[in-house]
Amino acid sequence: MKSIGHRRVTPVQRRCWPAACSGGDLLAIAPPGSGKTLAFLLPAIEAALEDQKGNRNIGKKRPGAPAVLVVAPTRELTLQIANVCNKLKKAVPVRAVAVYGGASQEEQEEALKQTTSQALLVIGTPGRLLAVLESGALALDRAKMLILDEADRMLALGFEEQLSDIRKSLPDNGQGERQTLLFSATFPKAVRAISKTWLRKEYATVNIEADTKVTLPNGEIQEMAHMSNVEQAVHVCAEHKKSRKLMKYITKLRAADGRARSRVLVFANRIKTVQFIADLCKRHGEKVSTLHGTMKQDKRDLAMKDFKAGKTPVLIATDVAGRGLDIAGLEYVVNWDFPGSIEQYRHRVGRAGRAGRKGAALSFFTRKFAPLADDLVKLLKQGGHPIDPNLDVLARVAAALPQPTGKGVKNADRFAAVGDEPADENGDLEEDEEGGGGGNSDDDGGASTPRKKAKLTQGDGAKPAWWNNDKKGSGKVFKKGERIVDKSKKILIGPGADELKARGKK
């Protein structure tokens, strides 16, 4: 650890190492920035070196046959793990090969085929791992240890079938030969199910800081880590006000900056929105990088390199950068678009304040995410963070409504009011059918479909409307079938009507 600049052992490392080094299976649940990578990487290296001792020529005779396989959900996380492992070359004879999409498969296969006496670890994303397995460049018949990093994220991204195919390629652990380490930041139902399938009955469990529980829309109770070192603020605002709020926030940071500019990571749900925010920041004199799933790998690498080095102190990204990335010293995260789940919100916020440092997260919350308001308020209250009064109102309304099914807020648009279109830096609406935040969704980040503009109507009891952000309370309402005011009968219909009626009577 000293060879790569780590001098302190974190709680997750202290608790995981004995269980992992003893040869038993392990389920570890810990928040972002808690040191999970070294918690599984050092036992993995020990296992690879131990295997190498008994088979000194295995690297020369059987290239591409690792003793340890690590599976991660994204290219960036795969590269990060491999880089940490390769830094340890100074201390131990170990070699890590990363295989991931977006880069040359032939080059990755050549790296696997290299003959060397070093112990080999292979780290990869599910899709590319299956591709190199099919080509014959990778053989898993010698794999003694399997590690799933960010298991909850892989399951959320729909990798369950690919993970199952990878598992079939591993030697049968019916006799208890293969060791499995499963790491996750949260413990949803899907992770509980896979832990029962993939882990042996006597597996150990490590749960760090599981003192916050959040009820998801489907009624499931999920353990979330309490991130007291990240100051969280959530502002309920209309879409067209985001531009002004973001630039005001960054301007305030710049006024407090010294010689070095603070780095700000801004998340958006759509690729088109990423470019819109980048143009906005550039017009205000900010140096900006962008990161999303359709970028070529070399450009993604350059964007991360420039951001980490401070050459571009603002990075606008989709959720491709939301999980697993350790950006040392990052203080500020902004959610331009609120994510589709509380779990993903937590992981975005977790990019700031890592390794015990202080951080801050600002999130813009529009009405289309109302189904998440109740759980979000619970999370913020348990962390001692301030609550926007408008968010509290949305939470009480959302708690009384039928909860949407499925992962995230797939039907969030049914909660959206007219006026949620993107705006330019002055707060003016864009003349764009889909708005500045529309367009293609990122391959790693979800996005709701664009909405068509609805006609404004107003009915009895709708003034002041609870969803309205303007000072006059003009009573903006939804399209028919999406929480509307029936103009003919002038009565409120749809979920949320009771709240409106109660306010109207008052």
Q: 3-state DSSP: the chain helix, strand, coil percent, rounded to 5?
A: 40, 15, 45
343 within domain boundaries: yes
Specify the pairing of strand 94-99 against strand 119-124: parallel
Write out the residue range of the structural domain in which residue 13 sits. Answer: 2-210
Please give the Cα distance from 251 to 290 (Å, whole number).
20
Query: How many domains in the chain?
Result: 3
Per-residue pLDDT reduced to its tens digit, 55-112? 665 555 566 889 999 999 988 889 989 998 988 877 888 889 999 988 899 999 999 9
Lowest mean pLDDT among 136-150, 204-218, 267-281: 204-218
Per-residue pLDDT reduced to its tens digit, 466-475? 444 444 444 4
Please report which confidence band the pLDDT of residue 346 belongs to, taking 50, 70 and 90 as the band edges.
Answer: confident
Same domain, 431 and 505: no
220 within domain boundaries: no
Q: What average pLDDT does the segment 300-322 reach?
A: 87
Q: Is 272 exposed, middle or buried (0-12, 13-18, 19+ CB in 10 A)?
A: buried
The Cβ of residue 128 has, within 10 Å, a number of other Cβ atoms equal to 20
203 within domain boundaries: yes
Same domain, 97 and 151: yes
Please give the Cα distance from 167 to 245 (Å, whole number).
48
Of the residues 210, 244, 278, the one at which a domain ends:
210
The conformational region for residue 136 under phi > 0 = left, psi -120 to 50 = alpha, else beta, is: left
Number of residues that this document lists for the chain: 506
Query: 319-333 burial string, b = 16+ CB within 10 Å, else e?
Result: bbbbbbbbbeebbbb
Which of the residue ranges 2-16, 328-342, 441-455 has the most confident prediction, judged by mean pLDDT? Answer: 328-342
Identify whether the C-beta of residue 378 lies closer than 8 Å to the C-beta of residue 432.
Answer: no
Through-space distance between the first and last CA atoms of the chain, rounded to whole angstroms: 64
DSSP 260: S
215 within domain boundaries: no
Please report which confidence band the pLDDT of residue 344 belongs to, taking 50, 70 and 90 as the band edges.
Answer: confident
222 within domain boundaries: no
- pLDDT at site 9: 84
Same domain, 465 and 402: no
114 within domain boundaries: yes
CATH number of the domain where residue 343 is located: 3.40.50.300
> Could you tell me the pTM of the whole model?
0.58
165 within domain boundaries: yes
Please give the Cα distance from 419 to 421 (Å, whole number).
6
- pLDDT at site 2: 64
221 within domain boundaries: no
